[in-house]
Amino acid sequence: MTRIVEGRISVVVPVFEMGRFLPEAIASIEAQGRDDLEIIVVDDGSSDDTPQVIASLGDRVIALHQENQGPAAARNAGLAIATGDVIAFLDADDLWPAGKLARQLERLEQDPELDAVLGRIQYVAVDGGEMPDIEFEDLGEKTLSHVHLGSGLYRRRAFDRLGHFDERLRHSEDIDWFLRAREAELRMTILPEVTLVYRLHDTNMTLDPEHVRSSYMLTTLKQSLDRRRAAGISGDLPAWRTFDEREPDLPTVSVVIPAFNAAKYLRESIRSVVEQTHRPFEVIVVDDGSSDSTALIAGRFASPVRVLRRPHRGIGASRNAGLGDARGEFVALLDADDLWAPSKLVEQLALFASDPSLDIAFAGVEQFVSPELEGRVLPARQGPSPSGRTASAVLMRASVMERVGPFREDVALGEFLDWYDRALAAGCRVDHVEAPLVRRRIHDTNSGIDVDRSDWAVVVKSMLDRRRGAGNGTR
């Protein structure tokens, strides 16, 4: 067998009263088809039949037994006797998908500087387990990219450099280790493929009380801050998404969603973006000083969604902040209560592909009454618009912002109308997809309902002044 990485691969499997799952976990390791595996099972003081299950595995595994000290101590015990140059972990109730090791070893070989290769995590409910209410990257496959030791493959030198797991932590010991890895600028990457099957059942450790887990999480975060202060490290740690190898579809599109107290509809709006048939490069949610759970909801989404938090300054300033941070070749806007059809970006990008001189593309807009208001009499604003000259319908080349300039920040209403008028004055070429690909939600807190309507007069006057100055009364 050709060796991609020299030396043995040591797999540490901590287990505490999970004997019923352990044989399947071991089988998933053996199914990787390697004859250089060292499987170390550490029984952390189980009182059920786990010791007997481990004994039944015979010489397929190296068995360790200790008094119950927690998963950090169990992993450290396994690391202490591991002989491999490459280290991996698998909790006794989880599984490795076929081909996990081959793909991750290949990536280590491609880049000798890499210290750790991780991947996606697929959630599966078994034996009375329930799927969590979280935002999966792929709703069908139930996958996420986040901190989990079992999804990774690690060079031993990573532990030689950072040390082992903090045994004072009964929870979040993995988060603590990854925080230390980011502080030390360890070289890591996250593959697009699934490298761990995470099984949810009725006895998961994560079913412990929320306040217990939160306490350990706060401890790990405080320790990280203390270490950084002591080392004179300022600024944020590298974002988790910066390690992600999942490529966006080309051309790259940045989506900016300004959000102020938008918790009621934001989740649905973000989901309509991440489910686009053209994968966005990034989705930037600008939390404009919300007092509700807006930032929390946005923060539950993994890459490509990220959150910018800022003091409340209004929608124009929020749009500008997001656009100023955008890195895509194209940029799109979406209000936090509106929705996109799955093909919105694909159909607009087709216009740009057919006309390289095009600057801005709109899509048709169909207004709808939010379900909770059905039956109520609302203003007659429903019905499709073939050209949809609204913020949620626009897609433009990023270079357009340099030509037109930022959105007005001194008005609470009409900032997009003002910007679009300036875009026309700057000579931007505009086209549109006639199909209604944007759904504008009509609800009882739409922007403009409780806003000082005098801003409209300010915007309209500015438009008229520009046209008079250009010697053109109409456009």
Among the candidates 240, 263, 293, a domain finishes at 240
Alpha carbon distance 361, 411 (integer Å): 25
Q: Do 183 and 42 share a structural domain?
A: yes
Total number of domains in the chain = 2
Q: Which of 276, 263, 412, 400 is nearest to 285 (CA)?
A: 263
Residue 70 φ/ψ region, left for φ over 0, alpha for ψ in the -120 to 50 degree band, beta for the rest: left
Mapping DSSP to helix (H, G, I), strand (E, B) and coil, where does residue 436 land? strand
DSSP 3-state assignment of 442? strand
Look at residue 376 in the predicted model and tell me its pLDDT: 63
Among the listed residues 77, 88, 87, 68, the one whose alpha carbon sits nearest the alpha carbon of residue 18: 68
**Cβ within 8 Å of residue 272, ≥6 positions away:** 334, 339, 340, 341, 342
Encode the chain (475 residues) as per-residue pLDDT tens digits. Answer: 444 555 689 999 999 999 999 999 999 999 999 999 999 999 999 999 999 999 999 999 999 999 999 999 999 999 999 999 999 999 999 999 999 999 999 999 999 999 999 999 999 988 777 887 778 887 778 888 888 999 999 999 999 999 999 999 988 999 999 999 999 999 999 999 999 999 998 876 555 566 677 788 888 889 989 899 898 888 788 878 788 888 888 999 999 999 999 999 999 999 999 999 999 999 999 999 999 999 999 988 888 899 999 999 999 999 999 999 999 999 999 999 999 999 999 999 999 999 999 999 999 999 888 887 766 655 555 444 555 689 999 999 999 999 999 999 998 888 999 999 999 999 999 999 999 999 999 877 665 444 555 665 666 767 676 777 766 655 4
Boundaries of domain holding 126: 9-240
Tell whether 227 and 362 lie within a shared domain. Answer: no
Specify if 1 maps to a domain.
no
Q: Dig out the tokens for 265 from the structure.
A: 């509809």
pLDDT of residue 461: 66
pLDDT at 383: 47
Residue 4 lies in a domain: no
Q: In this structure, are residues 329 and 398 in contact, taking their beta carbons and an 8 Å threshold?
A: yes
In this structure, the answer to whether residues 208 and 308 fall within a common structural domain is: no
- The Cα–Cα gap between 49 and 52 comes to 5
CATH assignment of the domain containing 280: 3.90.550.10
Q: 425 with 340, same domain? A: yes
The pLDDT score that the predictor gives to residue 445 is 67
Name every residue whose Cβ is closer than 8 Å to that of residue 354 and which is 6 or more positions away in sequence: none
**Cβ–Cβ < 8 Å for 42, 114:** no
Is residue 304 reached through a cis peptide bond, with omega within 30 degrees of 0 on the bond before it? yes
- Do 277 and 323 share a structural domain? yes
Give the pLDDT of residue 84.
96
Please report the pLDDT score of residue 375 as a whole number. Answer: 65
What is the full DSSP assignment across 128-177?
Answer: T----S---SBTTTTEE----GGG-EEEHHHHHHH-S--TT-SSSHHHHH
Asked if 199 and 270 sit in the same domain, the reply is no
- Residue 447 carries which DSSP code? T
pTM: 0.72
Pairwise CA distance, residues 353 & 372, whole Å: 40
Answer yes or no: do 197 and 343 share one domain: no
How far apart are alpha carbons 473 and 203 in whole angstroms? 72
Question: Quick check: is 54 in a domain?
Answer: yes
Question: What is the predicted pLDDT for the residue at 385?
Answer: 53
Choose the final residue of a domain: 173, 207, 240.
240
Count CA atoms within 13 Å of residue 230 on its CB side.
7
Residue 177 belongs to some domain of the structure? yes
Q: Are residues 227 and 360 in the same domain?
A: no
User: Which run of H or of E encompasses 193?
Assistant: strand 188-200
Of the residues 186, 219, 240, the one at which a domain ends: 240
β pairing state of 116-125 and 153-155: antiparallel
